[in-house]
C-alpha cells in the first residue's frame, strides 16, 4: 500500500512539492520515526559516483536535495522499492542479476533526466545511523558510473538548461571539484565516502586530485 502511495505522490508534482516542504519542518528524530513506520527495517540505496577525470582537478556530479534542511548536497541515487510478491511464500520468478544497477539507472533518469552506464561496484556501506535522516538502517551500494553520451555532452546539457532536475526532490545539479567538497553542505554518508573511501578505492584518482 505504501509503495503505491509513494508512487502516487511522485506522479503529482504539486502535491509532491508541497509534502516535501512539510517534511522539512519535521524534527529529524520525528521524521526518522515516521520513515521507520512506513518502510522496512533496512533501506537499500543505490548511489551514482560520476567523476570527470579530464578536468583538473577532477570533478564529481552532485545534486542539491530540496527536502533536507541539513546535508542537502550529495551524490545522486535513491532507495530501492520492494519487489512484488509475498515474502512468506516461495516465488518462481528469479530477479535479474543487475536489479540494483537497473534501479539506480531508473532513479537517475527519472530525477535528473540523465542516462548513465554503471561501470563497477565501488563499495557496499552498512550505515546504522544517519544524522540528517535518523531512521531505518541503510545498506548503500556505491557504483562508479558515466553518462551515456560522455561528460562533455552532459556539461553542455547542464549549461544550456537542456538537462535539469525532473523531480521536486532535486533543486540543482552541479559538477564540483573534489578539492572543493568542504565548501558544500554534504550529506554525511556521502562526505565520508568521498573523503575516506574514494581515495582508498581509487588511488589514481586521489593522485590526480592532489596534483
CA-derived radius of gyration, the chain: 17
CATH number of residue 156's parent domain: 3.90.79.10
Residue 93 lies in a domain: no
- Residue 162, C-alpha cell as written in the block: 537542456
pLDDT above 70 for 127: yes
Give CA–CA dist 21/67, Å, rounded. 7
**Could you report the per-residue pLDDT of 72-91, keeping only the tens digit for each?**
999 999 887 645 555 455 55
Return the H-helix or E-strand segment holding 19: helix 13-24
Q: Domain of residue 108: give its range.
A: 2-81+98-210
Q: The whole model's pTM is what?
A: 0.76
Q: Which pLDDT score is estimated for 21?
A: 80
pLDDT above 80 for 209: no
Give CA–CA dist 63/172, Å, rounded. 6
SS3 state of residue 165:
coil
Residue 172 lies in a domain: yes
How many folded domains does the chain comprise?
A: 1
- Residue 7, C-alpha cell as written in the block: 508512487
Residue 92 lies in a domain: no
Residue 91 lies in a domain: no
Residue 197 lies in a domain: yes
Using 50, 70 and 90 to split pLDDT, how confident is the model at 116?
very high
Sheet of strand 116-127: strand arrangement: 77-79, 42-49, 137-147, 116-127
Residue 176 lies in a domain: yes
Amino acid at each position: 500500500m505504501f509503495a503505491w502511495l509513494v508512487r502516487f505522490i511522485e506522479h503529482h508534482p504539486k502535491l509532491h512539492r508541497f509534502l516535501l516542504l512539510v517534511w522539512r519542518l519535521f524534527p529529524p528524530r520525528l521524521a526518522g520515526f515516521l520513515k521507520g513506520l512506513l518502510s522496512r527495517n533496512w533501506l537499500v540505496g543505490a548511489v551514482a559516483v560520476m567523476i570527470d577525470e579530464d578536468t583538473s582537478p577532477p570533478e564529481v556530479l552532485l545534486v542539491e536535495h530540496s527536502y533536507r534542511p541539513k546535508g542537502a548536497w550529495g551524490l545522486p541515487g535513491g532507495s530501492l522499492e520492494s519487489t512484488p510478491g509475498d515474502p512468506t511464500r516461495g516465488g518462481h520468478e528469479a530477479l535479474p542479476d543487475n536489479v540494483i544497477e537497473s534501479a539506480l539507472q531508473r532513479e537517475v533518469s527519472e530525477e535528473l533526466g540523465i542516462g548513465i552506464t554503471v561501470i563497477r561496484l565501488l563499495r557496499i556501506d552498512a550505515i546504522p545511523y544517519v544524522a540528517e535522516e535518523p531512521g531505518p538502517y541503510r545498506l548503500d551500494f556505491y557504483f562508479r558510473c558515466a553518462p551515456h553520451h560522455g561528460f562533455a555532452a552532459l556539461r553542455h546539457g547542464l549549461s544550456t538548461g537542456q538537462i535539469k532536475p525532473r523531480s521536486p526532490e532535486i533543486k540543482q545539479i552541479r559538477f564540483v571539484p573534489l578539492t572543493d567538497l568542504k565548501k558544500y553542505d554534504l550529506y554525511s554518508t556521502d562526505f565520508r565516502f568521498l573523503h575516506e573511501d574514494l581515495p582508498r578505492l581509487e588511488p589514481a584518482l586521489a593522485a590526480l586530485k592532489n596534483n
